[in-house]
Structure 1
Amino acid sequence: MAKHIWKAGTMLYPLPVAMVSCGTMEKSNIMTAAWTGIINSDPPMTYISLRPERYSYGIIKEAGEFVINLTTERLLWNADFCGVKTGRDRRKFSLPGLTAVKASQLDAPMIAESPVNLECVVDKIMPLGSHDMFVSKIVAVNVNEDLLDAKGVLHLEKAALIVTSHGSYYALGRRLGTFGYSVKKK
């Protein structure tokens, strides 16, 4: 099959739709970020990449903390709205379907309706060009009880998480296999 060669670009899809909450319970903001992921397991570390002109950039830089809230189909409208509207003009936690709750380790609030919340402390900020990367330690993970079975095993597939791909949102579908299935003995 022939390939078309394009100029270098950000063509790594799908990406998570993460709602990032920051600030304090009294003065908070929510922004949506797709440029996030895991970068280390011990210690557990993640990142978010933000443009310096974003309202949340200054809040996170000053506070040194934020929460990554995984996003579900039920939160899709909120995630889209929080990604296109600035927190300079409105308090996003006042939107229907978004409830601020106290994080266990941080001053930044979590989104109660999110099934999984990762509490993050900024380790360093790396200027990269159009975006700065906030390399951060995950200091706590909060998981909805209804996603755990009787043995405490997480069933994240029940959360109806969403992703973005090239400007559109998608629901995660059916499981196709598990890690290591290609070498598993029958």
Structure 2
Amino acid sequence: MKESWKPGTVLYPLPAVLVSCGAAPEEYNMLTVSWTGTICSDPPMCYISVRPERHSYGIIRRTGEFVINLTTERLARAADWCGVRSGRDCDKFREMGLTPAPALHVAAPIIEESPVNIECRVQQVVPLGSHDMFIAEVVGVQADNAYIDPQSGRFCLERACPIVYSHGQYFALGQALGHFGWSVRKKKPAGETAAKPVVEK
């Protein structure tokens, strides 16, 4: 049986990212965002949705730039803390022991400890209700080469132990189930066994 629920935001799990912003060191800030995602491949575009009362909202609205920093198990505490504390009251970078480093294409800093930093420039702001959506073009990406496989050149984000957010809780990701397109891959000839998906540790 199924229960009927009132309409709500139940599309989970979602990435729990740290969004960094600010045009100068004295205003650098981070906020935790789960209302985020990819909306276009060419040009590469993504979005974040932010409540107008958040401290970072005014900074992003004024500067038109931000960085989406992917989070890991090591960054889980910072992700939670930056979601419940305001940059009006403290320096979040200092409190969390994280490093603001220069981005390549925007004034907003990247978080050095994050494995992937997605530099974004706002193209449109859409008021929706509780949140405003910042639609942005991705103008640069920085990736930590510690997670690049030297043999294949593949970026192994799973080695960084990324986290997701679901119904008020943070979760680590589990075992890989297959590569994109595995369901329609041709069967191996008789005698050959299909390789099992490998989760790199």
Give the aligned partner of residue 173 of structure 2: 172
Rate the CA distance shift 1:68–1:110 in 2: closer, same or farther, 3 A: same
Task: Provide the C-alpha distance between the structure 1 equivalents of 2:70 and 2:100, rounded to a whole number of angstroms.
Answer: 14
Structure with max Cα Rg: 2
More deviation, 15-24/145-154 = 145-154
Runs of 4+ aligned residues of structure 1 deviating over 6 Å after TM superposition are none
Give the aligned partner of residue 90 of structure 1: 90
State the Cα deviation string for residues 134-165 of structure 1 (Å, max 9, x = none): 00000001000011112421111111000011
Give the aligned partner of residue 61 of structure 1: 61
3-state SS of 2:21 partner: strand
TM alignment of 1:116-127, pairs within 5 A: 116-127=116-127
Q: Which amino acid counterpart does residue 36 of structure 2 have in structure 1?
A: T
Larger strand proportion, structure 1 or 2? 1
Give the aligned partner of residue 40 of structure 2: 40
Task: Provide the C-alpha distance between the structure 1 equivalents of 2:117 and 2:24, rounded to a whole number of angstroms.
Answer: 15
Give the TM-score, by structure 1 length. 0.97
Give the aligned partner of residue 100 of structure 2: 100
Give the aligned partner of residue 155 of structure 1: 156
Alignment check: 8 A CA contact 1:25 1:100 kept: no
Calculate the aligned-residue CA RMSD, in Å.
0.9
In structure 1, list runs of 5 or more residues that go unmatched: none
State the Cα deviation string for residues 57-94 of structure 1 (Å, max 9, x = none): 00000000000000000011111110000000001111
Q: Which amino acid counterpart does residue 159 of structure 2 have in structure 1?
A: K
Give the aligned partner of residue 15 of structure 1: 14
Deviation at 1:121, TM superposition (A): 0.2
Q: What is the aligned residue count?
A: 185
Rate the CA distance shift 1:72–1:5 in 2: closer, same or farther, 3 A: same
- Percent identity at matched positions? 57
State the Cα deviation string for residues 98-155 of structure 1 (Å, max 9, x = none): 1110001111001000000000000000001111000000000100001111242111
Give the aligned partner of residue 24 of structure 1: 23
Give the TM-score, by structure 2 length. 0.90
3-state SS of 2:134 partner: strand
Give the aligned partner of residue 115 of structure 2: 115
Task: Provide the C-alpha distance between the structure 2 equivalents of 1:79 and 1:155, rounded to a whole number of angstroms.
Answer: 21
State the Cα deviation string for residues 25-75 of structure 1 (Å, max 9, x = none): 412000000000000000000000011111000000000000000000001
More deviation, 145-154/98-107 = 145-154
Task: Provide the C-alpha distance between the structure 1 equivalents of 2:81 and 2:119, rounded to a whole number of angstroms.
Answer: 22
Deviation at 1:174, TM superposition (A): 1.0
Task: Provide the C-alpha distance between the structure 2 equivalents of 1:180 and 1:152, rounded to a whole number of angstroms.
Answer: 20
